[in-house]
């Protein structure tokens, strides 16, 4: 049903453009150089788009040109389908008095480009007039869930890299019976920047050893020191997951007094992963080592297969020799065992806490 609503919304908007005249033209600006991102600041928060000129060079260039000139500043997201789609970019939406014609501006500026075979969660696409392949322009829409009914119909020029929670919030904007937003969610500014280098990819093991992790839990902070000499690949992956926000909004889902507390399960997240985060969450080769699993040791959880560790990890509460050599120990708690004790004492049913114990985020920082 939600996918059908998204299609109906886009078709309804696009039909309003059909009476407009004017041929499309290729923009003078062509994207080149390092990968680029668009940082979009709105009244609901900030989200980031990875621009993909390889899929739509003209549309990407036009978007970048408009952004550089401040064309999107003061526009609104004039249509929304809750958790399905948000649409914006119409220059007419700068004027609240022109609400009746929202969705009819900023078109017929970019020649037709390849249609995306898939519109998946986070895809950023140009709005088109049905039957007019050269009708793309300033307006764009972002899908918040896979939309197979839109496959092969729209040109995708970006993918959401960060701030998906902001887009979900925007999608909750109330709309009228015509699907137009009844409250203004404005774009303050769109900034184009080079895509930041992905952290903790090229650093040597010795360089990784200069960092530590701070777990911000609802029971208090827990600081972890890494064993880069024992499990360098696991440490690197943990740091990359943390830096990408994979551990944000999770919970301590397992409490086994006298044994371990465990967190990092993707199923405990309050929001789904972005496409970039999903790509990071994969199985890890084991790095079993001679570290003894004593109180405070941090180790990767896994299933039956030795290489089945992904994101979940545990903190040891007492000496547990059966874990030695068969789980990858990659760090130890150097501060915050009081918070660990608080989590251990939480009321539970079996090993499941009765009340959610949040892992708000994992912060990677330089060691003092």
Per-residue confidence (pLDDT) for residue 130, from 0 to 100: 82
Point out the least confidently predicted range of 242-251, 268-277, 337-346: 268-277
As a whole number, mean pLDDT of residues 241-263 equals 97
- Read off the tokens for 339: 């918070």
Q: How many CB atoms lie within 10 A of CB 278?
A: 14
Is the pLDDT at 7 greater than 80? The verdict is no
Per-residue confidence (pLDDT) for residue 147, from 0 to 100: 95
User: What average pLDDT does the structure give for the chain?
Assistant: 91
Per-residue confidence (pLDDT) for residue 24, from 0 to 100: 54
Task: Select the more confidently predicted residue: 10 or 52.
Answer: 52
Q: H or E stretch including 242? A: helix 232-243
Q: How far apart are CA 39 and CA 273, in angstroms?
A: 19
Q: How far apart are CA 353 and CA 311, in angstroms?
A: 20
Chain segment 53-106, per-residue pLDDT in tens: 999 999 999 999 999 999 999 999 999 999 999 999 999 999 999 999 999 999
pTM for this one? 0.68
Per-residue confidence (pLDDT) for residue 347, from 0 to 100: 98
Question: Which residues share a beta bridge with 225?
Answer: 212, 332
- Read off the tokens for 347: 């009321």
Chain segment 311-342, per-residue pLDDT in tens: 999 999 999 999 999 999 999 999 999 999 99
Point out the least confidently predicted range of 1-15, 197-211, 225-239, 262-276: 1-15
What percent of the chain has a predicted confidence (pLDDT) above 90?
85
Chain segment 106-132, per-residue pLDDT in tens: 999 999 999 999 999 999 999 998 889
Whether the CB-CB separation of 323 and 316 falls below 8 Å is answered with yes
Is the pLDDT at 197 greater than 90? The verdict is no
CA neighbor of 136 nearest in space, from 159, 115, 165, 162: 115
Q: 148 CB contacts (<8 Å, ≥6 apart)? A: 3, 118, 119
């Amino acid at each position: 049903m939600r996918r059908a609503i998204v299609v109906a919304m886009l078709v309804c908007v696009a039909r309003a453009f059909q009476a407009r005249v004017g041929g499309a033209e290729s923009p003078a600006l062509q994207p080149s150089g390092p990968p680029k991102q668009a940082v979009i600041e709105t009244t609901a928060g900030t989200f980031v788009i990875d621009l993909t000129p390889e899929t739509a060079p003209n549309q990407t260039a036009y978007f970048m040109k408009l952004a550089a000139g401040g064309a999107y500043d003061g526009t609104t997201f004039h249509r929304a389908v809750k958790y399905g789609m948000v649409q914006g970019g119409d220059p007419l939406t700068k004027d609240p008095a022109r609400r009746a014609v929202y969705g009819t501006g900023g078109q017929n500026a970019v020649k037709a480009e390849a249609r995306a075979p898939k519109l998946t969660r986070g895809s950023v696409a140009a709005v088109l007039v049905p039957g007019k392949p050269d009708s793309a322009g300033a307006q764009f829409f972002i899908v918040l869930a896979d939309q197979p009914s839109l496959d092969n119909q729209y040109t995708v020029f970006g993918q959401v890299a960060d701030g998906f929670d902001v887009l979900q919030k925007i999608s909750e904007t109330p709309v009228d019976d015509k699907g137009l937003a009844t409250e203004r969610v404005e774009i303050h500014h769109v900034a184009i920047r080079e895509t930041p280098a992905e952290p903790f990819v090229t650093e040597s093991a010795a360089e990784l050893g200069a960092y530590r992790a701070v777990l911000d839990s609802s029971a208090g902070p827990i600081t972890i020191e890494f064993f880069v000499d024992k499990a360098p690949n696991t440490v690197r992956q943990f740091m990359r997951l943390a830096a990408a926000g994979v551990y944000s909004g999770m919970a301590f889902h397992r409490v086994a007094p006298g044994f371990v507390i465990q967190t990092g399960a993707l199923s405990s997240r309050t929001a789904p992963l972005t496409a970039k985060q999903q790509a990071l969450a994969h199985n890890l080769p084991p790095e079993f080592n001679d570290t003894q699993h004593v109180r405070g040791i941090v180790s990767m959880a896994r299933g039956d297969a030795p290489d089945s560790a992904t994101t979940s990890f545990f903190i040891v509460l007492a000496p547990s020799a059966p874990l030695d050599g068969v789980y990858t120990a990659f760090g130890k708690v150097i501060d915050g065992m009081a918070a660990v004790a608080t989590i251990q004492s939480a009321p539970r049913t079996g090993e499941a806490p009765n009340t959610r114990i949040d892992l708000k985020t994992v912060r990677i920082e330089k060691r003092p």
